[in-house]
Amino acid sequence: MNIALKHGAVLCWLLFTAPILAVNPNHIQQLKETRQCPNCDLQNADLSDAYLQQANLRGANLSGANLNGADLRGAYLLQANLQAADLRNANLTGANLDQADLTQARLNHTLIDDRTVLSEKWRLVHRLNNQGVGELSLVEADLSGANLNEIDLRAVDLSGADLSGATLEGANLRGSNLSDSNLENSNFFIANLESVQLTSANLAQADLSAANLLGADLTGTNLREADLTIARLDNANLADSNLSSSNLEASLLAGANLENVTLTQANLFLSDLRGANLTGAILDNARLTGADLTDSGLSLGSLSGTALEGIASRNVDLQGVDLSRQNLANVDLSGANLSGSNLSYANFSNANLSNANLSGTNLLGANLSQANLTGANLGDANVRQVNFAGANLTQANLEGITVGNSNFCGAIMPNGVERMC
């Protein structure tokens, strides 16, 4: 999906779900006839290629207006609202934009000169869009609310910069340094952030959907409520980061370091976590349905209230994890390390636990009916009140287990003999 397609989808959604904010037609006529329209409501107006030389638009609302190619030479735009306005190819030479709001405005190929009254911040944004970084220093730069879509910021030092509310859709920031930067509510849709330094950055509520964060360093980063749908985070370092309530649906996290990460109420539906390190991660009330945890490590993590239906978790390390009362029916946990874990009253019916390490686990009241436990190690496990009906325990190790009111009806015992009911 490209930017145009995304914008088209959003537009269609708006057309059918929200009232259209229309321009005041009287103000349009007034502007065209007199070029005197202070404080006018021109929101979303189509003024492309309009002749507005020396126009008085002081305090006018031009948010979302199309001013592409407009002649605004010498125009008076003091305190005008130009949020999300399209100023591409517009001529603003000699114009007065003092205190004008250019948040999200498009400034590609916009003409300005030394006579144009424009704040230092928006001059910088204009330069970046039209001339690139060059020798400029962007350390701690104020780029909040800037429209920097598709910009080339590869290997640029943006540490400590303020990019809150900025949009960088399709931008290339490969190898850049954004550590300690403020990126709250920013938009990095389909941006290239490969190998970027984002340590201790604030990405709360940021849009990183479909972004490439391969090998990025996000240690200690705030990603609360961030959108990381189908984002690529292979081999990224997210240790000690806050991802609570974030959306990681169908994201690629293979080999990622998620040690001590907070994923409370996060959505990890269908995410790829193969080989990821989740040691000490907090996943309370998270959604892991359909996720692939093969060869990953979640030892000493917290999974209270987590949805785990349909996960793939072969050879996963769940040592010491609390999975009590979890529904893990039909789950593949073959070769998994569950030693010392709390599995009391969990549902493992039809689960594949072949060659799993269940030594020292608490399985009190668990349901293991029809489960595959061939070659599993249940040494010293508490299996009181466990339902093993129809389970396959061929070559399983039951040495030292604590039994009491357990149901082995129809189970195939370690010696290959079926237990009579």
Q: What is the CATH number of the domain that holds 78?
A: 2.160.20.80
pTM of the model: 0.85
How many domains are there within the chain?
A: 1
Q: Is the residue at 120 inside a domain?
A: yes
> What's residue 10's pLDDT?
37
CA–CA separation, 206 vs 386, rounded Å?
46
Q: Strand pairing partners for 177?
A: 157, 197
Q: Is the residue at 399 inside a domain?
A: no
Q: Is the residue at 261 inside a domain?
A: no
Mark residue 260 as left, alpha or beta (left: phi above 0; alpha: psi -120 to 50; beta: remaining).
left
Q: What does the pLDDT profile of the chain (421 residues) look like in tens digits?
A: 444 444 444 334 333 333 445 678 899 999 989 999 999 999 999 999 999 999 999 999 999 999 999 999 999 999 999 999 999 999 999 999 999 999 999 999 999 999 999 999 999 999 999 999 999 999 999 999 999 999 999 999 999 999 999 999 999 999 999 999 999 999 999 999 999 999 999 999 999 999 999 999 999 999 999 999 999 999 999 999 999 999 999 999 999 999 999 999 999 999 999 999 999 999 999 999 999 999 998 876 778 788 887 787 888 899 988 899 999 999 999 999 999 999 999 999 999 999 999 999 999 999 999 999 999 999 999 999 999 999 999 999 999 999 999 999 999 999 999 999 8
CA–CA separation, 389 vs 421, rounded Å?
9
C-alpha closest to that of 159 among 138, 183, 173: 138
Q: Strand pairing partners for 167?
A: 147, 187
Supply the range of the domain harboring residue 79.
25-131
Q: Is the residue at 49 inside a domain?
A: yes
Number of H helices, E strands in the chain: 3, 0
What DSSP designation does 411 have? P
Two tokens at 398?
């039951």
Three-state SS at 182: strand
Two tokens at 376?
């599993």
Q: Is the residue at 404 inside a domain?
A: no
